[in-house]
């Protein structure tokens, strides 16, 4: 992967994407063709290439990952009274999709080392109302899928796999995004494959794929376009976005290798800092792809003060996800009363991630590590 020359900026950003492949070539081709909307051919090309890469039969491109989750939940007919088990430590999009469908989110705590949902806690969360498990791979390491898939099989539950943060990752050699009834990806600017904004729904079910296509396009009918039997949304991805995504996908292996190099370099430079927990390099089922390089401070440190000191040294950071059961919006709706997830609560308060974008140079990483060492000395 071509690296940009080191640039001196007042702040090393949390993320800076690389767009140095065929992005401009494909965008030019798209613009010259005049097919820049969702009807353009690049959308189908991107869907086919991405679903093939992940090992799925069907791909449905949409405008972002959050709405990919919404379409997936709706297509699976999850609704009022249904319960969906999901991690307490994840982005709000997961629980929001469930709540907007009229269903009930049920959270389980995460593992203290991988930061992923703890499979050992899922079975006890299953009730007669449980309809699905929503799995979200976190920060570059996949969830341990085998026990979750067994729980789903035993209890006849649907599985939604949020693979937004694990482009190019595998679980026991099988691509993340190839598990469960439906999987989704995000192509936001900080992802290994980006379209600026964008997402993808993947499935092996022709019925679910067709339903997702209907939902993303206002449920237009083939014969009577403007007569609607159902309500959908405008979730469409433009051909311009898909053109960028196709170029990005061509270099996913390079991006994954670069991310792993960055993560291991950070660990090499930070390993002697006793006051901070670094991300696992690997588990017995996967090697970290370091979508972001997260750190968790020991309890005697105040994360906001450490972050302030890093900013003063020219290093931008981003806080960890805030636990779902502590989100004010859900508390006001009456969800999660009396729920406690101590691991998610701790890392949500004490964790943040360092600059991790693909355009980050080795010199940037050294500068960030030096700043961390100074602050935590």
Q: Residue 113 maps to which CATH number? A: 3.40.640.10
Tell me the mean pLDDT in the region 116-130. Answer: 98
Find how far residue 219's CA is from the centre of its chain: 27
Tell me the mean pLDDT in the region 250-261. Answer: 98
The pLDDT score that the predictor gives to residue 377 is 84
Domain check: are 167 and 274 in the same one? no
**Model confidence over 1-43: pLDDT tens digits?**
444 444 455 799 999 999 999 999 999 999 999 999 999 999 9
Domain check: are 210 and 143 in the same one? yes
Indicate the average pLDDT of the chain: 96
Domain check: are 293 and 211 in the same one? no
**pLDDT higher than 70, residue 254:** yes
Tell me the mean pLDDT in the region 61-81. Answer: 97
Domain check: are 217 and 269 in the same one? no
Domain boundary among 227, 249, 271: 249
The pLDDT score that the predictor gives to residue 10 is 79
Q: Is residue 230 part of a domain?
A: yes
Tell me the mean pLDDT in the region 222-249. Answer: 95
Domain check: are 216 and 126 in the same one? yes
SS3 168: coil
Q: Is residue 303 part of a domain?
A: yes
Phi-psi region of 334 (alpha: psi -120 to 50; beta: other; left: phi over 0): left
Number of domains in the chain: 2
222 pLDDT tier (thresholds 50, 70, 90): confident
Task: List the one residue out of 354, 360, 349, 347 whose CA is nearest residue 373.
Answer: 354
For the whole model, what pTM was predicted? 0.95
Q: Is residue 3 part of a domain?
A: no
Domain check: are 176 and 288 in the same one? no
Q: What percent of the chain has pLDDT over 70?
A: 98
Q: What percent of the chain has pLDDT over 90?
A: 96
Q: How far apart are CA 6 and CA 365, in angstroms?
A: 11
Domain check: are 292 and 341 in the same one? yes
Report the range of poorest mean pLDDT among 45-54, 218-227, 331-340, 365-374.
Answer: 218-227
Domain check: are 259 and 361 in the same one? yes
Domain check: are 44 and 171 in the same one? yes
Q: How far apart are CA 57 and CA 162, in angstroms?
A: 17
Domain check: are 242 and 269 in the same one? no
Q: How far apart are CA 69 and CA 199, in angstroms?
A: 9
The pLDDT score that the predictor gives to residue 5 is 45
CATH of the domain at 258: 3.90.1150.10
The pLDDT score that the predictor gives to residue 6 is 44
Give DSSP secondary structure letters for 99-139.
HHTT-EEEEE-B-TTT-SB-GGGTGGG--TTEEEEEEE-BT
Q: Is residue 5 part of a domain?
A: no
User: Do residues 360 and 261 lie in contact, with contact meaning Cβ atoms separated by under 8 Å?
Assistant: no
**pLDDT higher than 60, residue 113:** yes
Q: Is residue 12 part of a domain?
A: no
Tell me the mean pLDDT in the region 199-227. Answer: 95
Q: Which residues contact 70 (CB under 8 A, 6 or more apart)?
A: 96, 97, 100, 101, 233, 235
Domain check: are 343 and 224 in the same one? no
The pLDDT score that the predictor gives to residue 9 is 55
> Where in the sequence is the domain holding 320, given as residue range(s)?
252-376
């Amino acid at each position: 992967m071509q690296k940009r020359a080191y640039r001196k900026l007042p702040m090393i950003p949390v993320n800076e994407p690389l767009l140095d492949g065929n992005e401009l070539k494909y965008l030019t081709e798209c613009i010259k063709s005049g097919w820049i909307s969702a009807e353009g051919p690049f959308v189908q090309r991107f869907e086919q290439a991405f679903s093939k890469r992940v090992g799925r039969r069907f791909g449905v491109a949409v405008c972002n990952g959050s709405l990919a989750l919404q379409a997936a939940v709706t297509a699976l007919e999850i609704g009022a009274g249904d319960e969906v088990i999901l991690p307490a430590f994840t982005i709000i999009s997961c629980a929001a999709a469930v709540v907007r469908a009229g269903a009930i989110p049920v959270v389980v705590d995460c593992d203290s080392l991988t930061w992923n949902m703890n499979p050992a806690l899922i079975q006890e969360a299953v009730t007669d109302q449980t309809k699905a498990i929503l799995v979200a791979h976190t920060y570059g390491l996949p969830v341990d899928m085998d026990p979750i898939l067994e729980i789903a099989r035993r209890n006849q539950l649907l599985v939604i796999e949020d693979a937004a943060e694990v482009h190019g990752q595998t679980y026991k050699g099988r691509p993340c995004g190839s598990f469960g009834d439906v999987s989704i990806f995000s192509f936001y600017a900080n992802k290994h494959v980006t379209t600026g904004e964008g997402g993808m729904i993947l499935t092996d079910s022709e019925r679910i794929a067709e339903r997702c296509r209907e939902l993303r396009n206002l449920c237009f009918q083939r014969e009577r376009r403007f007569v609607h039997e159902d309500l959908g949304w405008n979730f469409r991805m433009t051909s311009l976005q898909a053109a960028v995504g196709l170029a990005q996908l061509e270099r996913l292996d390079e991006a994954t290798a670069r991310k792993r190099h960055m993560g291991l370099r950070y660990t090499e430079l930070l390993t002697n800092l006793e006051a901070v927990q670094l991300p696992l390099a690997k588990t017995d089922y996967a090697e970290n792809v370091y979508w972001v390089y997260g750190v968790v401070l020991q309890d005697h440190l105040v994360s906001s003060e450490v972050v302030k000191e890093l900013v003063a040294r020219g290093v931008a950071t981003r806080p960890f996800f805030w636990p779902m059961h502590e989100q004010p919006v859900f508390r006001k709706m009456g969800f999660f009363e009396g729920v406690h997830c101590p691991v998610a609560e701790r890392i949500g308060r004490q964790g943040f991630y360092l600059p991790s974008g693909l355009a980050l140079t080795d010199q940037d990483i050294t500068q960030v590590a030096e700043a961390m060492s100074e602050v935590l000395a």
